[in-house]
Structure formats: structure tokens, C-alpha cells
């Protein structure tokens, strides 16, 4: 049992940069779509991945750890019961060549963070004050 938790943010490496998504992988996934019956998912391992993703999301919104300043790529090995940074993240470009930040609309920079204000949460509306 294996899984990943990935955070891709505007201006940093995307999932293609990280080597997680390729045209070959996407093609294989599309060809096998809906055939998971013999490879059913394991609930408890998905819960670990989901809880990790929620923790990252809360940290992004509140900045409580003051440590998320770029992409995250965590790999989970359920057989070893470990969650570790994926080695592929080390080899990623610092700026994504696939998606330019300028296509995203209004971008706000503050304390080395890049935010696209959605005006739905405190984090984004706090950036509004600095525009």
C-alpha cells in the first residue's frame, strides 16, 4: 500500500515538474478508469493520506508552522508505516516551466508567499490589505 500527498502552489513546481504526472501515466490511468474492483482501496491508509492533506491545508490557511513556502511531495508506505518527503522533490525546478503565474490572475506576494486572493478565507483577505 502506497500513496502520496502533494501540494503544488503557483510559481513553484507542478506535478509534472515533480515527475508525478506524465503523459504516459495519465494515459494508463485513463485506460484503466473504472477497473478498480480487483484493486480495492484500503480505508485506513487513505485516512492517513487525507489527514496529512488536511493538516497541510490548515497550515496553508493559518501559517501556524511558518514552514510551508513551496511545494510538498510526501510518500506514504503503508507496509512500513512511514510517511517521508519524496526524493523526486529535490530534483524539481524551483519555478514551473509548464504554467506561468501570470495566467492565474491577481497574484499577491507577501513574506515569500504567493497567494491568489479568493476572498473566501481569512488568509486571502489578509493579503487584500497589502495590495
Mean pLDDT throughout 94-101? Answer: 83
pLDDT at res. 60:
87
This model's pTM is above 0.75: no
Judged against a pLDDT cut of 60, whether residue 129 lies above it is answered with: no
As a whole number, the mean pLDDT across the chain is 78
Side-chain half-sphere CA neighbours of 126 within 13 A: 12
Q: What is the percent of the chain with per-residue pLDDT over 70, rounded to a whole number? A: 71
When pLDDT is cut at 50, 70 and 90, the band that residue 10 belongs to is confident
Amino acid at each position: 500500500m502506497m500513496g502520496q500527498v502533494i501540494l503544488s502552489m503557483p510559481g513553484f513546481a507542478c506535478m509534472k515538474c515533480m515527475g508525478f504526472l506524465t503523459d504516459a501515466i495519465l494515459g494508463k490511468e485513463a485506460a484503466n478508469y473504472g477497473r478498480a474492483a480487483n484493486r480495492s482501496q484500503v480505508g485506513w491508509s487513505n485516512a492517513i493520506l487525507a489527514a496529512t492533506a488536511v493538516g497541510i491545508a490548515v497550515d496553508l490557511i493559518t501559517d501556524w508552522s511558518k514552514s510551508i513556502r513551496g511545494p510538498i511531495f510526501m510518500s506514504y508506505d503503508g507496509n512500513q508505516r512511514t510517511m517521508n518527503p519524496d526524493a523526486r522533490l529535490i530534483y524539481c525546478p524551483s519555478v514551473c516551466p509548464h504554467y506561468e503565474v501570470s495566467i492565474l490572475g491577481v497574484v499577491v506576494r507577501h513574506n515569500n508567499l504567493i497567494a491568489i486572493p479568493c476572498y473566501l478565507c481569512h488568509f486571502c483577505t489578509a493579503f487584500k490589505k497589502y495590495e
